Chains A and B, each alone.
Chain A
Amino acid sequence: MTLLAANEHFARAPEWTWYILFYFFLAGLSGGTYVLASLLRLGGNPADEPAARTGFYVAFPALLICPILLTLDLGQPLRFWHMLVNTTPGELAPVFRYWSPMSVGAWGLVVFGIFVTGSFLDTLVRDRTHERGRLIPNFAAKLWNLLGAIAGLFIAGYTGVLLAVSNQPIWSDTWVLGAVFLASGLSGSAALLGWLVHRRPAARASMRAFERLERFFLVLEIVLIVAFVLLLIQPGVLKAAFAFPWLILWIVAFVSFLPGLFGATSSRRTVSADGSVSVREARAVGWVSLLVLVGVLALRAAIIFSAQ
């Protein structure tokens, strides 16, 4: 347990490790898949609806694990509700501190959870009743998705702001971490959904959409990582951020960008005339998507661990 002394910071490491790493990963994917599903429903065409539903199905279980990870990470897990309620004697009331990203994030998870659960159940009801029933009435459905997508964008990105709002070297030396995590969550979600729609014949009409989206989000992510690197130069912590063994994680992250950037995924996502996909191609797409997700995880691991 050493104190880090770079750029005149003398903060102790908070020992945020595996639970937090996987929370950041799943928050990015849950928020990202919900946003992409909403984009397809609100900005796509009717043929994108099966793919949108795939997104709503994925966002729910990914989010379900998040509060469990966060609770397990606490020193006093049974006090998880203290994030929402002030238990100071004589001051029992909801606690919301807008200047504390952790407080805002706790409430954000509650709000996003409502939207994700609603969309998941609505999708389930629609699919099970063959469109005869729905949980969210038609007139409110678009507004529901829009508000849910805003919450999803927040959940996918605020984790980076949470790290930056500290006095920890590397994290606090930059203010683009929220943006980096958001772009990374979106690119990972596009890769994940791209793979899932590839396996779901009714949703294959959206395959091209996910390829384009993934490539666009990857470019955005790379631009933001460059900004992150530039911001670390002046405080003199660049070396610490990219030191061994974290360099390996960075390399994994960059390698994971390559298939999406250079069209390796799209060249493999081919469908035969009869609508079937060869086993070999299905596996190849699966491996490429897995590589992208490993990259999303590696990026977060490099940032979380290098500062501690």
Chain B
Amino acid sequence: MVEITPGQSYGFFTDTSVCIGCKACEVACKEWNELDGNEPVFGDGYDNTGQLDAQNWRHVQFHDNVPDETLTAGQGKAWLMMSDVCKHCTHASCMEVCPTDAIIKTEFDTVYIQPNVCNGCRDCIAACPYGVIEMDKKKNVAQKCTLCYDRLQNSMEPACAKACPTQSIQFGPVKELKLTAVKRVNDLHAQGVTEAQLYGADDSVYGGLNAFFLLMDKPEVYGLPNAENAVLPSRNNARGYLATLVTAAVAVVGGLIALRRRREPPPAEVIPAPATVTEPVGGAS
């Protein structure tokens, strides 16, 4: 049993280089969290889950990377697979915009939506840059991975990490996981797998992710914003209000000037009563 201490940061290191796309993580997550799941979707590849949402807190992505030239060997790169999950960002966009304080950092430094506090305003959904959060149609509140908050409180590792047969999903203190990740990526580079890269292990993406990844391609391939595009909603706060304030000032000043400069209608515009039937319009004074 893992020793889990409140006050310490916990998370996932997901090593996509060893993911085999078995979806054991998805099944374990649904079993533990009593998620019904959605109707299967069938598109390209072997992904019948579709996306992260209120019913899928783990989603194994399949990316067809089969070389066009069949004469060359795939070298194990035919498919990119990644078990995606809430990133439990250090600077979480969802938490930033939440008006009710429903989204909190737990004692394990994970991001948790309190289901009894959330009122379903959906601001967090518009803010999450990973498309992780969705409204639960039964509970009518926003839902996402809790990093098995209830299990952590009982010193149990999250269900997905427990079920992963290849240790693609590793759970532990974030500090230790980062050391493991750096060693792993260095090993891969030494083996000539130069495309291997860490995502979210440093603070370049949302101040660092508690659930970070070793990727085998660029972040965008997996639907992850790169460091340049990993921006918080609050970037538009000050300038949005400032633009509104300037407009308000212009509107008020301009409005006052317009009131002062108005002139009485010239006599030519006061026309005689038309021959047609007229009626006094409105009666109240």
Contacts and interface: CB of A to CB of B under 8 A. Distances in A.
B211 to A, nearest CB: 15
B254 A220 contact: yes
Contacts of A171: 126
B101 A199 contact: no
A144 interface: no
B96 A271 contact: no
Interface size class of B (residues with CB under 8 A): 35 or more
Interface of B: 51, 53, 93, 96-102, 104, 114, 116-123, 125-135, 140-142, 220, 223-226, 228-229, 231, 233-237, 239-241, 243-244, 246-248, 250-252, 254-256, 258-265, 269-274, 276-285
A237 interface: no
Given A177-B240, A200-B285, A272-B278, A157 B120 contact: no
12 contacts: A82-B117, A103-B100, A153-B252, A165-B127, A176-B243, A178-B240, A178-B244, A179-B247, A201-B282, A208-B262, A216-B254, A272-B270
A161 B240 contact: yes
Given A158-B244, A179-B247, A272-B272, A11 B128 contact: yes
Contacts of A201: 280-283, 285
A217 B251 contact: yes
Contact of A39 (B121, B122, B243, B255): B255
Interface in A58-87: 73-76, 79-80, 82-83, 86-87
Interface residues of A, number: 90
A158 to B, nearest CB: 7
Nearest to B140: A75
A106 interface: yes
A160 interface: yes
Find the residue from A13, A82, A160 having the highest chain B CB count within 10 A: A82
B256 A12 contact: no
Contacts of B236: 161, 164-165, 172, 175
Nearest to B241: A161
Given A79-B120, A100-B96, A201-B281, 20 more contacts: A9-B225, A12-B126, A12-B131, A15-B135, A35-B255, A39-B255, A76-B119, A82-B100, A82-B119, A83-B99, A87-B117, A88-B104, A99-B96, A164-B240, A167-B231, A168-B126, A172-B236, A175-B240, A208-B263, A273-B273
A167 B127 contact: yes
Given A102-B121, A208-B264, A279-B277, A199 B254 contact: no
A161 B247 CA distance: 13
A75 B269 contact: no
A101 B238 CA distance: 11
B123 A36 contact: no
Contacts of B133: 12
Contact of B128 (A167, A172, A179): A167
B140 A76 contact: yes
Contacts of B132: 12
Nearest to B247: A179
A297 interface: no
Nearest to B231: A167
A164 B97 CA distance: 11
Contacts of B260: 43
In the complex, which of the residues A12, A50, A275 has the most CB atoms of chain B within 10 Å of its own CB atom? Answer: A12
Contacts of B117: 82, 86-88
B119 to A, nearest CB: 4
Nearest to B124: A14
B240 A160 contact: yes
Contacts of B118: 75-76, 79, 82
B273 A220 contact: no
Nearest to B129: A167
Contact of B141 (A43, A76, A198): A76
B282 A200 contact: yes
Given A95-B99, A164-B240, A220-B254, A8 B220 contact: yes
A165 B233 contact: yes
Contacts of A39: 252, 255-256, 259
A224 B246 CA distance: 11
B256 A43 contact: yes
A69 B65 CA distance: 47
B247 A86 contact: no
Given A39-B259, A201-B280, A182 B229 contact: no
Contacts of A40: 259
Contacts of B277: 279
Given A16-B122, A87-B117, A175-B243, A10 B248 contact: no
Interface in A1-41: 1, 3, 5, 7-16, 35-36, 39-40
Interface in A72-129: 73-76, 79-80, 82-83, 86-88, 91, 95, 97, 99-103, 106
Nearest to B233: A165
Contact of B101 (A9, A50, A88, A282): A88
Contacts of B248: 153, 157, 182
A213 B276 contact: no
